[in-house]
Structure 1
């Protein structure tokens, strides 16, 4: 019998999730393809022969010689060995029935033709009759949901692409249920495991008196569904020599595992690793973190969602299978080792994947087993082993104190926590008075409150690991905390791709008295300096732009910038939102998310994280000093008695669910951001920068930062107005610049889409002529004032990444003015509740 099948291979990554598993049902040497019956398009009865594919070995029958050891005869410090031939070959290694089988048919372009759910279980190896549409070059998706029917909703999607991009089909609870199936289960014990098959290109034809499914190559086929989960077994051995030398295995972790199962996850094309899935903006988590008696078992086996992270041409030997050469979202095991005095901690990291050293793919329906040997502590010879410096950080790089410190990766700073560059005589009046520390405001210790990773939901922690929950001194260290003049907080950050963190200072009772945001990025903006006159202004702008590192400072084209009486005439503005590590138009998902920055409630100094993927889903994106996930709290504003509550609880989002609640915590510090006066100690921007004003809500064009946006009339200040026909504003949807209107904006789904304004740089509206001098405003999902959740609709219209909300510092009746781009309208004159979570873009102070 001749078997027919295909695999999609892109730059070395085998896309097994799209594999067509077909076995011919006849023994003829050749089955000639038949012409499609003239009844094409009609609903017909089709016989299907169903089975379950044998699970596969992720390594194969023998391990590749390149993946075995470190290539020398001496015992290496760290050995990571793939184990071959571990798959279960017996028939009882899979269930004998397919439960809750759903079959969905799509046409050649992916639009749904038919869908049906079978009410009875299907015994494997038998045939069934289903209703399909007679068609050529169509697609079939078969899903055995499992006996417990963990998930549903696929048939409700109109297209295959909608299934692929859906975020509402498989949720965390269902993922936990699948992971809870025993990994040694066989036969009926596997009844709850989902199985699936996607046939990308088949015909429904009439032949030999019946309708049947046929591959486009011509053979009648048996359909073999695949197990949705990958199985990963990790075995470890801690050498006695390590124990004798005083080392202890403290923790074993399986990190950066996709948080959810998806039948057809969205793929992402990368230059370095080829086609990968799921995308880099999916949610990743730790599958487990083992401590105590669990470590003595020396083995752990789990089900995980597939994580295909591609082929790395740089991983040419086992020691180069490290974080420098792996995709940021690749799955790895990490072994934490302490010496007996806890003066030295080592992190042994092993990236998992296929047979070859350069293969970082963990694929569905495959079993993987890896053996790890930790033999000695010679970390200098192996880049997979990292030493944690536990020495308290001490810096001499003193910086003026503000609520936000811009830090380049791999640098350190120190500052006086009782001072503030915007405070009275340079002091923070929430902590001091008349040259003395206020009662209960003496700082006793400092901690890493939260931090991001440097690749969204994956990558490296931007500050790194603390020593333990009682000792953060290797990352943030307090000296002379009770001395108002000598007190210093010392901070260092490792070399990463950047991100954000918040450091909190606590008194002896453990209450947070103040906190500071660390904006970790290569971006170093420079403001205008010198005596700015009409003659010198252009030269000063050019000098500031030239001196700015890894980005741009900008001026806009409106009258508030160009007129000597304009509020922003002697200023420049940053090219990105506060907290963003990228600026401008991006062409990939991860960098699109990096343009979002952080969200702030009006009048508060502490940030909240943005959507991780542009949707309304609340994903894990912040972590404590030990790398464990952190969540925000949400409390009604009416339950808050003082503005101090907002200072003591930087991770609490205060909700306004009625009009009167606006006048509780938020009203305790009216005009907290200084409105039309100077910068305050509650302003979230770095030294030399502040939240921009919007005097009078833009009634005076010379006081509105965005006067002239959307029009060649640079004095035009819109409010609920469409841009003029000859406008200077366009919407970027991921592929092109579009006219500013409802249809182009509302339909965008690209993460990183937004609005481009060129008047300040004088460029034309052609995508290939847009430079970093052009102002780009990414569409960012706001946090709702009454729920704290991300907004996903404008009225009844679903939205994604297509609305801009930027805070101004100016107040009116306890509300703040904002700058807003929404659908086809611009709003620059109205106020809104301070309880919303919006973006901030800092302007020169």
Structure 2
């Protein structure tokens, strides 16, 4: 009987658990100044060992289930990479790899001449910029944002890639705009670009995980040229575009709600010549980023006084903010008919006739959103808009050339609206100025179709294109 009982126990004995070995972090980057990262090794296989192909620039220390990987200051002008392999001693086939990158000392300082919300970069290069101050570190219009939230970013603890995108919605290629993870250290952010041209946004988070600021990285290998018109030097393409070739999706650039610094993606579909809806495809690319796009369904907070929804917008750079009341109001910033809205001056275009760049300006270092009058005459009577059709050439290639100004082509990218988000791609072009009507808070814009052109007021909650000018 006893023997029979033992046989029964053996028959129903629980199977041995499957062995596993994992690491809490599989990829990270360190600055050229050096640093370390502690990785948690979770395993049931007993003892484990560490090997690396780092050729001496990395060191490892085991303590319990913790592995601390350390790099000293880099002496290389380029980024260097290594693989740290953790493997079971009992079962060498059980392994996990941790990829480590350290930025080189040859990183280009994008903020050497000043700070901005947007930096232009080329493919295949390493960069660093000052992440200790908001925007260009100057004014905030009349928003009172600086009084409440300050200019310094001393609460930042970590950088994060929110999104990266190419214009044709190729998810594989979009992952190659930024190479690896950005690194935050001592008030600066390091990053490396990949092999693809496109756009990306890098955010700075505080200890609680909240976004405290973010920066647009415009990756293009085609040098920007300037052409003078109406007293300004104009970029040869839209903000965020890779070219200005008629009919090419890479000419679109990005959308901006008036007064906001963070961009939204244009349609991911090709231009069309007939169907007015076929090209209106929302673009939700994030590449290897962590963000999610929200083009609909996110209403502004019901705030009636300055600084209104600015902090809300800063913390949620991929949320397109609709007006609180669906069919009334014009602003993402505050609710309608409020003096804070009318006199916001978020992009500084009302401060000076020549323009004034604020901490919310989305243009790169040295550039700004053009103020009132830069496209044509000053606003004048805006009840029906100022007719500027004679300044624009014939409709072709899904856009028109500004023959009364720079002569450059302006693609019809469409607009983002508060009710039917992406509309009229390839059929209308709407370009913001930095100025607004102080009597109602509507932003001045040039609105061009295949049949007519108007310089008029537009609802600031809408997403339009931007063509930057040289800062004066």
**Fold equivalence (TM over 0.5):** yes
- Separation in 1, partners of 2:200, 2:448: 28
1:732 pairs with one of 393, 396, 409: 396
Q: 2:254 is matched with which residue?
A: 598
Contact 1:418 1:431 in 2 (8 A): no
Q: Are 2:471 and 1:838 equivalent residues in the alignment?
A: no
CA distance, structure 1, for counterparts of residue 171 and residue 149 of structure 2: 46
Could you tell me how far 1:706 is from its partner in structure 2? 3.3
Which of residues 670, 673, 693 is equivalent to 2:344? 670
Counterpart of 1:478 in structure 2 is 184
Give, in whole Å, the separation in 2 of the partners of 1:464 and 1:578: 17
Distance 1:821 1:784 in 2: 16
Corresponding residue for 1:803? 428
Question: Structure 2 unaligned runs (5+)?
Answer: 1-20, 27-82, 88-96, 272-277, 379-383
8 Å CA contact 1:394, 1:490 repeated in 2: no
Measured after TM superposition, the shift of residue 776 of structure 1 is: 0.4
Distance 1:390 1:341 in 2: 13
Question: What is the CA distance between 1:704 and its match in structure 2?
Answer: 4.0
Secondary structure of 2:161's counterpart equals strand
Report 1:424-443 matches (<5 A).
Answer: 424=138, 437=152, 442-443=155-156
Q: How does 1:121-160 map to 2 (within 5 A)?
A: none
Q: Map 1:100-139; keep pairs closer than 5 Å.
A: none
C-alpha distance in 2 between matches for 1:593 and 1:681? 30
Counterparts of 2:206 and 2:376, CA distance in 1: 43
Cα deviation code 1:69-111 (max 9, x no counterpart): xxxxxxxxxxxxxxxxxxxxxxxxxxxxxxxxxxxxxxxxxxx
Secondary structure in 2 aligned to 1:831? strand
Distance change >3 Å, CA 388–CA 597, structure 1 → 2: farther
Residues 130-169 of structure 1, C-alpha deviations (whole Å, 9 max, x = no match): xxxxxxxxxxxxxxxxxxxxxxxxxxxxxxxxxxxxxxxx
1:393-404 equivalences in 2 (<5 Å)? 393=103, 396-398=107-109, 399=111, 400-404=114-118
Answer yes or no: is the 8 Å Cα contact 1:803–1:821 preserved in 2. Answer: yes
Cα gap change, 1:621/1:425 in structure 2, threshold over 3 Å: closer, same or farther?
A: closer
Q: Of the candidates 568, 584, 593, which is equivalent to residue 245 of structure 2?
A: 584
The CA distance in 2 between the partners of 1:597 and 1:778, in whole Å, is 9
Matches of 1:464 and 1:623, distance apart in 2: 11
Distance 2:468 2:152 in 1: 30
Tell me how large the CA RMSD over aligned residues is. 3.8
Matched position secondary structure for 1:340: strand
Measured at CA, do residues 652 and 663 of structure 1 come closer, stay the same or move farther in structure 2, by a change above 3 Å? closer
Return the alpha-carbon distance in structure 2 between the equivalents of residues 827 and 444 of structure 1: 46
2:209 paired residue number: 510
Cα deviation for residue 721 of structure 1 reads 3.9
Residues 500 and 623 of structure 1: is their aligned pair in 2 closer, same or farther, counting only changes over 3 Å?
A: same
Are 2:188 and 1:492 aligned?
no
| In structure 2, C-alpha distance between the alignment counterparts of 1:430 and 1:416, rounded to whole Å | 21
Aligned-partner Cα distance in 1 for 2:204–2:136: 19
Asked whether the equivalents of residues 431 and 513 of structure 1 are also in contact (C-alpha less than 8 Å), the reply is no
Residue 757, structure 1, aligned to residue 402, structure 2: yes
> Which residue does the alignment assign to 2:16?
none
Contact 2:117–2:360 under 8 Å retained in 1: yes
* Equivalent pairs, count: 351
Q: Deviations over 1:797-834 (max 9, x none)?
A: xxx51211000011112111001102412111x21111
User: What do residues 326-367 of structure 1 show as CA deviations (whole Å, max 9, x unaligned)?
Assistant: xxxxxxxxxxxx86349xxxxxxxxxxxxxxxxxxxxxxxxx
Q: Distance in 2 between matches of 1:841 and 1:722?
A: 17
Contact 1:448–1:624 (CA under 8 A) maintained in structure 2: no
2:423 match: secondary structure: coil
Q: 2:133 aligns with which of 419, 425, 431?
A: 419
Deviations 1:595-653 (A, max 9, x none): 01100000000000001114454444411426x89432531125466320000000111
Three-state SS of the structure 2 residue aligned to 1:503 is: strand
Q: Answer yes or no: is the 8 Å Cα contact 1:454–1:462 preserved in 2.
A: no
How far 1:453 moved relative to its partner? 3.4
Q: 1:842 to 1:646 in 2, by over 3 A?
A: same
- Give distance in 2, aligned partners of 1:464 and 1:680: 28
Q: Return the alpha-carbon distance in structure 1 between the equivalents of residues 470 and 301 of structure 2.
A: 35
Indicate the residue corresponding to 2:449 in structure 1.
Answer: 822
The 1:475–1:683 alpha-carbon spacing in structure 2 relative to 1, beyond 3 Å, is: same
The equivalent of 1:705 in structure 2 is 375
Secondary structure of the residue aligned to 1:840 is coil
Determine the C-alpha separation between the residues in 1 that align with 2:209 and 2:446.
38
Shift of 1:662: 3.1
CA contact (8 A) 1:573 1:843 kept: yes
Aligned counterpart for 2:227 among listed residues 546, 554, 578: 554
Residue 730 of structure 1 contacts residue 757 of structure 1 at CA under 8 Å; is this kept in 2? no
- Relative distance call for 1:584 and 1:620 in structure 2 (3 A) is closer
C-alpha separation in 2, matches of 1:633 and 1:625: 20
Instruction: State the Cα deviation string for residues 368-395 of structure 1 (Å, max 9, x = none).
Output: xxxxxxxxxxxxxxxxxxx996314355
2:320 aligns to what SS in structure 1? strand
1:646 partnered with 2:313 = yes
Q: 2: distance between equivalents of 1:412 and 1:431?
A: 32
Alignment counterpart, residue 263 of structure 2, candidates 607, 611, 627: 607
> What aligned pairs does 1:108-257 form with structure 2 within 5 A after superposition?
none
**CA–CA distance in structure 1, aligned partners of residues 213 and 291 of structure 2:** 22
Q: Is the 8 A contact 2:412 2:427 kept in 1?
A: yes
Whole-angstrom distance in 2 between the partners of 1:665 and 1:624 = 32
Unpaired stretches in structure 1, ≥5 consecutive residues: 1-245, 252-337, 343-386, 467-473, 481-486, 526-551, 562-567, 587-591, 695-702, 709-717, 734-752, 762-773, 793-799
Residue in structure 1 matched with residue 423 of structure 2 by the alignment? 791
**Structure 1 residues 454, 806: CA separation in 2 closer, same or farther (over 3 Å shift)?**
closer
Once the two structures are TM-superposed, the CA of residue 415 in structure 1 deviates from its matched residue by 1.6
Q: Is the 8 A contact 1:393 1:476 kept in 2?
A: no
C-alpha spacing 1:648/1:665, structure 2 compared with 1 (3 Å): farther
Between the aligned partners of 2:202 and 2:149, the Cα distance in structure 1 is: 26
Bigger radius of gyration among the two: 1
What is the correspondence of 1:4-403 to structure 2 with a 5 Å cutoff?
340-341=85-86, 390-393=100-103, 396-398=107-109, 399=111, 400-403=114-117
Contact 2:279 2:426 in 1 (8 A): no
- Per-residue deviation at 1:729? 1.2
How far apart, CA to CA, are the structure 2 residues paired with 1:706 and 1:604? 24
From the superposition, tell whether residues 476 and 759 of structure 1 become closer, same or farther in structure 2 (CA, over 3 Å).
same
Go from structure 1 to structure 2 and tell me whether the alpha carbon gap of 1:651 and 1:401 turns closer, same or farther (over 3 Å shift). same
Instruction: Give the CA deviation at 1:425.
Output: 9.3
- TM, length-normalised to structure 1: 0.38
- Closer, same or farther: CA 651–665 of 1 in aligned 2, 3 Å: farther
In structure 2, which of residues 124, 128, 133 is the aligned counterpart of residue 410 of structure 1? 124
Task: Give the match for residue 521 of structure 1.
Answer: 220
